Structure 1
Amino acid sequence: MTLNIRNPEADNLARELARIDRTSITDAVIVALRETIRNRMNKEKPRKTAQKILAKHGLSFPPDRKPVPREAYHELDHDLTGDE
């Protein structure tokens, strides 16, 4: 199976990465794809980030904390912009 890069920007990026890593274009693409997949799979959720920040200051979410309803974000948006 072959990978054919037809997009000039993608081709340039693949070549640049291969040059930096001193490897083939194929290996550069494989490494880039693996790293991107790993990063996306391990991306921290906002709730986890908030928990870490709170813990750093000796705080935590209350155990009975409920998520903010989606409607609240819409209401906040209108409050911030002054729209009704």
Structure 2
Amino acid sequence: MQVVLTCFKSMTWIISNKNSSSSSKIAVINMKLQDYGKGPLGETEVQFRVTRVTLEPMLRSMTYISQQLNAPVNRVAIINLRVCKLGS
């Protein structure tokens, strides 16, 4: 049995202001993911909209992942994201 994981390909981001208030700022993060099980064209784009409140815990987790990847026995980080759709 062969398992093919989706891999991170690229990321872009912008800061969006709904109005002049700093509390209304959101980061819009666009990620491209490559699924090699679907051939060279198996690319998916995912967009996240995060506020500072939701971004800070994510960055702490990413820092921890980075530290774990520095260990000689760890070679791959598998990150499970739970996506919440607005209105759900």
With normalisation by structure 1, the TM-score equals 0.26
Q: Which has the higher strand share?
A: 2
Q: Which has the higher helix share?
A: 1
Greater relative contact order (Cα 8 A, min sep 6): structure 1 or 2? 2
| Higher Cα radius of gyration | 1
